[in-house]
Amino acid sequence: MVCKTSFLSIIVFFFINTDLFSQTFVPDDNFEQALIDLGLDTAPLNNFVPTENIIGITSLNIREKNILDLTGIEDFTALSILDCSTNKLNAIDVSKNTNLTELYVFDNELTNLDVSTLPDLKILWCHNNLISVVNTNQNPDLISLVCRNNRLETLNVTKNPELVVLAFENNEISNIDLSNNSFLGRLQAGRNRLTSLDVAQNINLSYISCEENNINSLETINNLNLSTLICYSNNISELDLSRNASLTVLDCNNNNLCRLNLRNGNNAFAIADFRLNSSLGCVVVDNPSKIPINWEPEDFISYVISQDDCDITVPVDRLNNIVSNNSFTLPVLLNGNYFTETGGNGVMLNSGDVISTSQTIYIYKETICDSNETSFSLLISNDSYFIPKYFTPNNDGNHDFWEVFDNTNSIKHISIYNQYGKLLKFLPKNAFIWDGTMNGNQLPTNDYWYVIVLNSGEIVKGHFSLKR
């Protein structure tokens, strides 16, 4: 009877205290050895670790241990910080580690990462992996996300309003919405496929890098704390940094810049690089005579204090008005192309085309930054001479002169009068053109009269309008 009672007591004791002998399966020898080194297990390696030794651990650093398999991490239920970076992991399951606030899994071979069960996660560094999706919608307290050098095509951070650091360089991301990340201070978005980058709501940004994308425009007017802007190798045509008084580092080389305004009241930049912008005619600065010696390109000299001082011109050919009694063959142009409508619209004409109808023909040229245009009137007429009815001397390249065309060399001279009969201009033979001035002074909009004396002695009178 005594023996039976003792046997039952041993069985009861065993079942009540099985937790004292609970073991966590750890099949990776390098993982187990790391736990032995931390005093959480004892040699020899046997693929098991006492569970009671790990369930209360809040911080675990097992980086650079050549670990392939992290099975067993699920029993670290109190874990708040896990650093398993720089190993050889191709998978990790942290679904049971619901207390995690910091997770460092960078420099592994992960293809997938699920952090949906980690509501308190604040830091996630998973860069240098093979991950195609990072979903942080269930991590509202996230303050730092570093996921560069992966295979991401999309990234949604609209559910992470506390985000301060975001780095996703060297992925395949074509769009990013940062409108809900008002605390963002550092943004690293280089080497993606971005065509635009809106940082208007990110007023706390001090660092932006977005190099090697396809961004066409970048507006930093609201980023008053910005100290570093790296945006080289994009398609940006204009940068106005006049509101960014804290800016000390700028690299915008290899873009399509037409305008660059650095007049921010603090031009003592540590770095300012705007090389390889062939269309950049000038740079607006605080003081053109005090340019720091470290600015590049070193031989750039076109510094001004106002964009209005920039001399940005697009060369375009100019032809005089033509009067022909039959047709006109368009000559070869050096700068520009022929069009039937202004602004490069209508039908494009080619050099050598024969024009047989009266019309206005436009010569238009466009560059990345600007455009320019001239025009000329083509009059097909069998008359001996042509007298224009108006002209507009406003230096726009269109009808700037009143010009009489003498097709048959029949005009001797021309006199121009005002409405009171005062002689304003005498035009001798082969100089039948007037610019609307008298003694260097511009004459007002009005009607003016002409008297044409022909070689035959015949006199032709009439009037025309000057319009300003």
What is the maximum alpha-carbon separation in the chain? 158
Q: For 138-162, write each residue's pLDDT tens digit.
A: 999 999 999 999 999 999 999 999 9
Q: What is the mean pLDDT of residues 74-78?
A: 98
Q: Which residue, 382, 405, 427, sits at the end of a domain?
A: 382
Ramachandran category for residue 426: left, alpha or beta (phi over 0 → left; psi -120 to 50 → alpha): beta
Q: Please, are residues 433 and 427 in contact by the beta-carbon 8 Å criterion?
A: yes
Q: Please, are residues 403 and 432 in contact by the beta-carbon 8 Å criterion?
A: yes
The three-state secondary structure class of 21 is helix
Q: How many Å apart are CA 329 and CA 323, to the nearest integer? A: 12
Q: Judge residue 304's burial from the number of C-beta atoms within 10 Å of its C-beta, 0-12 exposed, 13-18 middle, 19 or more buried.
A: middle
Report how far apart the first and last C-alpha atoms of the chain are (Å, whole number): 128
What pLDDT does residue 326 have?
81
Radius of gyration over every alpha carbon of the chain, rounded to an integer in angstroms? 39
Q: Which residue, 382, 401, 420, sits at the end of a domain?
A: 382
What pLDDT does residue 14 have?
39
Q: How many Å apart are CA 247 and CA 213, to the nearest integer? A: 22
Domain span at residue 362?
313-382
Q: How many Å apart are CA 382 and CA 394, to the nearest integer? A: 30
Same domain (yes/no): 398, 329:
no
Q: Which residue, 356, 382, 408, sits at the end of a domain?
A: 382
What pLDDT does residue 312 have?
63
Q: For 225-278, write each residue's pLDDT tens digit.
A: 999 999 999 999 999 999 999 999 999 999 999 999 999 999 989 899 999 998
User: Alpha carbon of 35 to those of 10, 43, 67, 95: distances in Å?
Assistant: 32, 10, 12, 21
In a domain, 436, yes or no: yes
Same domain (yes/no): 368, 389:
no
> Is it the case that residue 17 has pLDDT exceeding 50?
no
Which of 189-193, 318-322, 454-458 is predicted with the least confidence, judged by mean pLDDT? Answer: 318-322
In a domain, 324, yes or no: yes
What pLDDT does residue 8 have?
41
Q: How many Å apart are CA 300 and CA 263, to the nearest integer? A: 16
What 119-122 contacts at long range (C-beta under 8 Å, 24+ apart), as own/partner pairs, is 122/162
In a domain, 373, yes or no: yes
Q: For 303-348, write each residue's pLDDT tens digit.
A: 999 988 887 667 889 998 787 778 899 999 999 999 999 999 999 9
What pLDDT does residue 21 have?
63
Same domain (yes/no): 388, 355:
no
> Is it the case that residue 4 has pLDDT exceeding 80?
no
Same domain (yes/no): 373, 420:
no
User: Alpha carbon of 1 to those of 4, 7, 14, 342: distances in Å?
Assistant: 5, 10, 20, 116
Share of the chain above pLDDT 90, in %: 76
Q: How many Å apart are CA 42 and CA 37, to the nearest integer? A: 9
| Structure-model confidence comparison of residues 127 and 321, the more confident one | 127
Beta-bridged to residue 12, according to DSSP, are: none
Q: What is the mean pLDDT of residues 17-26?
A: 72
Domain containing 452 — which CATH number?
Answer: 2.60.40.1930
Q: What is the mean pLDDT of residues 23-43?
A: 97
What pLDDT does residue 363 have?
94
Q: Which of the four pLDDT bands, split at 50, 70 and 90, describes residue 366?
A: confident
Q: Which of the four pLDDT bands, split at 50, 70 and 90, describes residue 352?
A: very high
In a domain, 245, yes or no: no
Same domain (yes/no): 337, 363:
yes
The domain total for the chain is: 2
